[in-house]
Structure 1
């Protein structure tokens, strides 16, 4: 069973500190038994090499018992088991709400064990698709995923209130004026709420959109929140950063991505720029203690500048 856990993933997760639940090292000790139990209880047969994300193991499986029809004639699916942390705690709720519309279909879930059985998608994603077309796809998916708020999903206004306080008192890992601006914007965006709040994916970037069999593109791996749809745009700006160009081209590339997504998702560009500033200041704070994160902090500054110009 240990073969179902990629070695690079085991090495990474073993060094992760607890975030509301257990440490990565403690969870890893129980993971082989957890996978064994889930495969047996849900009548699943592993049929391929396991994959992994930042915090989860994904095992290609075939359903041997009931439910085969829900994932196609072959009964292929994937078993996803995540290291317990707050962002993963409500993933099943979001997938249930979308019910396969714009996102991977949820077949079965055990939230107490952070385990999901999902339809199997292709391995191709938007990372190698022309970036303008990829942004159009993301904008269209954001429209499809727009659903009423779920009462058990964390609220964006609470995140914004925490960030306003943290940014205001944070050390100057990026220019102080940007931290102060981000803190002020977080408060202002909450004080001027959008016309409607919706269930948000919050991490819809190019690698989190996979090719599907019943639909050309489907979203995976949500980090659900409820709030302003304009919060959704930023991940498509900071990903594929190597394609932004240099000099004045960087601003043009970032603003073009933002404009395409906002046009196809019906999102206000001004609010999208403002939330991007807040999120990038937050990203810079997150990696501030990492001596290898200088490039990520520089990217945050570039994006904030582009959103201001």
Structure 2
């Protein structure tokens, strides 16, 4: 269903206001994947997302939020293939904490949020989400092309490591898939909460990987080798995940992220530099 604009708002807005009992819409943000509004819902402020045709990842993300049930993440009140009604959190994200020199504290908060997200929900079946092997398909494709051209690139090495990790993974968890400092906000009532998940199924260690590449606007910080190892250690201990396995997932994640940029015809940012630093510290054979 395509979006058309009327008075600066998507045409579908009125239909969702009526169907879901919403009022007082105010534009909050507009991205490639959605038009976002604050609305009044049952006497409180909520967030209404109207998805664009590019918002397919938001649809799997809604199923992940539904599974989490508010444990470590914003609550989702209503959703369908074209819209989502979410809990509104107006507190700050983790960037100010890092800017105040509390980078390690921010990492501890991220680990605490991940532990909440990764708790199994008794009696709740795993939703239909994207498995990690499918999520890595572009890395595997890039590595195959490089091999065929006789190039032993970092993507070839990363694909080999990813294949090993994915072949011996633990039972799958519902993963956020995009945890970083700007996707966690503070709620005065409920503490630190994640939002905007991709909605993946796989090993918990993958959810810690992206954190080591963030905040992206601070390249001097995130490319610091000591900082990478220090924060990886914090995540490993807090999550109960083998340090080497966490580093391995961080390495393959960085290479996957670089492939996304390259496949879009753009140059990667810090991803390959950080992945190169991490690769030097991976010990083989890999283990749980």
Offset at residue 51 of structure 1 (A) = 2.0
Give yes or no for the alignment of 1:78 onto 2:52. Answer: no
Q: Distance in 1 between matches of 2:79 and 2:14?
A: 16
**Distance across 2 between alignment mates of 1:44 and 1:170:** 52
1:190 paired with 2:147, answer: no
| Alpha-carbon distance change, 147 to 153 in structure 1, aligned in 2, over 3 angstroms | farther
**How many residues of Structure 1 are paired with residues of Structure 2 in the alignment?**
267
TM-aligned CA deviation for residue 244 of structure 1: 5.1
Write the mapping of 1:13-28 to structure 2, written as runs, cut at 5 A: 26-27=2-3
Structure with greater strand share of residues: 2
Asked if 1:300 is matched to 2:271, the reply is yes
Which of 16, 19, 36 is residue 58 of structure 1 equivalent to? 36
Change (3 A) 1:289 1:117: closer
Counterpart CA distance in 2 for 1:125 and 1:239 is 13
Q: Distance in 2 between matches of 1:28 and 1:257?
A: 45
The answer to whether residue 14 in structure 2 is matched with residue 36 in structure 1 is yes
In structure 2, relative to structure 1, the CA distance for the partners of 1:158 and 1:32 (3 Å cut) is closer
Name the residue aligned to 2:93: 125
What is the CA–CA distance in structure 2 between the aligned matches of 1:167 and 1:29, rounded to whole Å? 42
Report the TM-score, using the length of structure 2 for normalisation: 0.82
35-44 or 202-211: which moved more?
35-44
- DSSP-derived class of the 1:184 partner: helix
Compared with structure 1, are the counterparts of its residues 49 and 184 closer, same or farther at alpha carbon in structure 2 (3 Å cutoff)?
A: same
Matches of 1:221 and 1:56, distance apart in 2: 11
Deviating more after overlay: 142-151 vs 127-136: 142-151
Corresponding position of 1:281: 255
Query: Once the 2 structures are TM-superposed, how far is the Cα of residue 177 of structure 1 from its aligned partner?
Result: 3.0
Q: Which has the higher helix share?
A: 1
Match of 2:131 in 1: 155
Shift in Å, 1:189: 0.8
User: Are the counterparts in 2 of residues 245 and 253 from structure 1 also a CA contact under 8 Å?
Assistant: no
Q: 1:242 Cα shift?
A: 4.5
Residues 200 and 87 of structure 1: is their aligned pair in 2 closer, same or farther, counting only changes over 3 Å? same
The aligned counterpart of 2:204 is: 229
Q: How does 1:161-240 map to 2 (within 5 A)?
A: 163-170=139-146, 176-194=152-170, 196-240=171-215
Deviates more, 1:232-241 or 1:212-221: 232-241
Q: 2: CA distance between counterparts of 1:264 and 1:245?
A: 25
Structure 1 distance, partners of 2:27, 2:138, is: 40
What is the distance in 2 between the residues matched to 1:274 and 1:146?
Answer: 19
RMSD: 2.7
Q: Which runs of 5+ in 1 are unaligned?
A: 1-21, 69-73
Secondary structure at 2:262's aligned position in 1?
coil
What is the distance in 2 between the residues matched to 1:218 and 1:120?
11
5+ residue gaps, structure 2, are 281-288
Relative to 1, partners in 2 of residues 1:95 and 1:203: Cα closer, same or farther, differing over 3 Å?
A: same
SS of equivalent residue, structure 1 residue 100: coil
